[in-house]
């Protein structure tokens, strides 16, 4: 068909305008269902409360493939702010300030606290586990945990990776979960305290927070609700190699690997197998399926681990995003089981 020149020009202008009119409500609807998330502050200092989101990147449901894509830059900014408090061993001032900071960033979530006094070889210390609950439609919960305390006995140890990376990552996961309707299990984010030993790692000098919480959940019946316990520890290393852990539950480790494959991140997972003692152990002993996502190859031969070399320059936002996306995708796969 031959279209006259004047009509062709009219059509060229009218068709895009018509398409915009048709698509605008869809785009607005999509924006409308984005949850509001607080940005990471520029520096540690004044504490932000729940601030309306200006950034639209890294929100659940906004990516066309519907796979999780957390906001890596914001996660990294949280880690910077956590590390800026300085060394955060149990009982010190920076540790208290970090607890206040976490509380300020978790407005809008249902918070629970597990507070107690731990008897350690160096005396009594207050321990505070923090739990943020994000409800789902299905009965039961998937726990995603980390620890926020740092090693006491190494002077000047700021734990950017060991303590900092997981703490910042879980704050970003809270942004992803806040306000998002979950058709699957509830997700409980847990910041565990007192993971590190005070003098030397042993059954009684380590895992103070996780041992207490697992026992409490066993006593009050909460363990029966927990479908899986996923731990993130030392997951910020720019050279990310998450180890397969023999103390974790094999089928849950397999599910983590399936999630990693789906996201194209499998090269960062399970090249090596270790048996790791970490915060997942007390929950495994309580009968909960567990998976520890830990990269225990931090620097050549793990030389940065528990040294003053555990600093921000060794980390990468991409590693936080890889771990965060795999955790969320594993939770989604658990929903389907």
CB-nearer residue toward ligand 1BN: 162 or 253 = 162
The single residue among 241, 277, 302, 309 that binds ligand 1BN, judged by CB under 6 A, is 277
The single residue among 162, 237, 295, 310 that binds ligand 1BN, judged by CB under 6 A, is 162
Kind of pairing between the strands at 182-192 and 123-134: antiparallel
Query: Which residue minimizes CB distance to Zn ion?
Result: 162
Is residue 191 within a helix (H) or strand (E), and if so which, with residue range? Answer: strand 182-192
Q: Under the criterion CB under 6 A, does residue 36 sit at the interface with ligand 1BN?
A: no
Alpha-carbon span 20 to 289, nearest angstrom: 49
Q: Which does 67 bind (CB under 5 to 8 A by kind): ligand 1BN, Zn ion, none?
A: none
The single residue among 81, 149, 172, 233 that binds ligand 1BN, judged by CB under 6 A, is 233
Residues 106-135 interacting with ligand 1BN (rule: CB under 6 A): none
Place of tokens 């704050």: 171
Instruction: Tell me the per-residue interface mask from 62 to 101 with ligand 1BN, x by CB under 6 A, - otherwise.
Output: ----------------------------------------
Query: Which residue minimizes CB distance to ligand 1BN?
Result: 278
Place of tokens 């830990």: 294
* The one segment of 26-34, 60-68, 165-173, 271-279 that binds ligand 1BN by CB under 6 A: 271-279
Taken in order 245, 250, 256, 260, the sign of the CA dihedral is positive
Alpha-carbon span 93 to 37, nearest angstrom: 28
Q: Under the criterion CB under 5 A, does residue 81 sit at the interface with Zn ion?
A: no
**With contact defined as beta carbons under 8 Å apart, do 149 and 193 qualify?**
yes
The single residue among 276, 284, 312, 333 that binds ligand 1BN, judged by CB under 6 A, is 276
User: Which residues face 111 on adjacent strands?
Assistant: 132
> What phi and psi values does residue 25 have, to the nearest 5 degrees?
-60, -35
Q: Which does 277 bind (CB under 5 to 8 A by kind): ligand 1BN, Zn ion, none?
A: ligand 1BN
CB-nearer residue toward Zn ion: 150 or 249 = 150
Q: How far is the CB of 256 from ligand 1BN (least distance, A)?
A: 18
**With contact defined as beta carbons under 8 Å apart, do 334 and 142 qualify?**
yes
Is residue 256 within a helix (H) or strand (E), and if so which, with residue range? Answer: helix 250-263
The single residue among 162, 172, 245, 295 that binds Zn ion, judged by CB under 5 A, is 162
Q: Under the criterion CB under 6 A, does residue 154 sit at the interface with ligand 1BN?
A: no
Total residue length of the chain: 337
The DSSP annotation for 56-107 comes to -TT-TT-STT-S----HHHHHHHHHHHHTT----TTSHHHHHHHHHHHHHTT
Closest CA to 114 of 215, 228, 230, 221: 215
Q: Under the criterion CB under 6 A, does residue 284 sit at the interface with ligand 1BN?
A: no
Alpha-carbon span 204 to 306, nearest angstrom: 19
Q: How far is the CB of 306 from Zn ion (least distance, A)?
A: 6
Q: How far is the CB of 151 from Zn ion (least distance, A)?
A: 5
Q: Under the criterion CB under 5 A, does residue 99 sit at the interface with Zn ion?
A: no
| Burial category of 152 from C-beta neighbours within 10 Å (exposed 0-12, middle 13-18, buried 19 and up) | buried
* The one segment of 24-32, 47-55, 110-118, 272-280 that binds ligand 1BN by CB under 6 A: 272-280
Q: How far is the CB of 200 from Zn ion (least distance, A)?
A: 13
- Distances 58 to 79, 152, 154, 295 between C-alpha atoms, Å: 17, 35, 36, 24
Alpha-carbon span 24 to 26, nearest angstrom: 5
CB-nearer residue toward ligand 1BN: 186 or 206 = 206
Instruction: Name the site residues for Zn ion (rule: CB under 5 A).
Output: 162
Instruction: Name the site residues for ligand 1BN (rule: CB under 6 A).
Output: 162, 196, 201, 233-234, 276-278, 296
């Amino acid at each position: 068909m031959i279209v006259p020149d004047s009509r062709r020009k009219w059509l060229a202008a009218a068709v895009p305008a018509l398409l915009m009119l048709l698509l605008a409500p869809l785009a607005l609807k999509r924006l409308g269902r984005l949850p509001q998330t607080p940005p990471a502050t520029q520096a540690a200092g004044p504490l932000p409360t729940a601030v309306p989101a200006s950034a639209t990147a890294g929100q659940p449901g906004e990516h066309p493939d519907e796979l999780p894509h957390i906001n890596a830059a914001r996660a990294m900014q949280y880690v910077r702010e956590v590390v800026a408090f300085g060394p955060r061993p149990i009982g010190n001032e920076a540790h208290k300030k970090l607890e206040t900071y976490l509380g300020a960033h978790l407005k809008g979530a249902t918070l629970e606290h597990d507070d107690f006094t731990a008897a350690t070889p160096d005396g009594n210390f207050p321990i505070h586990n923090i739990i943020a609950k994000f409800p789902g439609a299905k009965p039961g919960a998937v726990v995603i945990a980390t620890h926020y305390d740092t090693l006491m006995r190494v002077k000047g140890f700021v734990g950017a990776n060991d303590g900092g990376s997981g703490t910042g990552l879980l704050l970003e996961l809270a942004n992803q979960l806040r306000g998002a309707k979950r058709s699957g299990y509830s997700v409980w984010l847990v910041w565990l305290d007192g993971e590190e030993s005070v003098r030397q790692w042993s059954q009684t000098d380590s895992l103070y927070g996780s041992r207490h919480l697992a026992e409490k959940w066993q006593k009050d019946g909460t363990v029966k609700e927990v479908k899986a316990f996923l731990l993130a520890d030392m997951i910020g290393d720019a050279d990310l190699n998450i180890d397969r852990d023999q103390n974790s539950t094999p089928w849950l480790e397999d599910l983590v690997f399936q999630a990693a494959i789906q996201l194209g991140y499998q090269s960062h997972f399970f090249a090596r197998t270790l048996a790791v003692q970490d915060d997942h152990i007390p929950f495994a002993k309580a009968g909960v399926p567990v998976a520890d996502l830990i990269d225990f190859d931090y620097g050549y031969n793990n030389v940065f681990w528990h040294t003053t070399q555990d600093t921000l320059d060794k980390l990468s936002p991409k590693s936080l995003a890889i771990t965060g996306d795999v955790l969320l995708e594993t939770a989604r796969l658990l929903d389907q089981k």
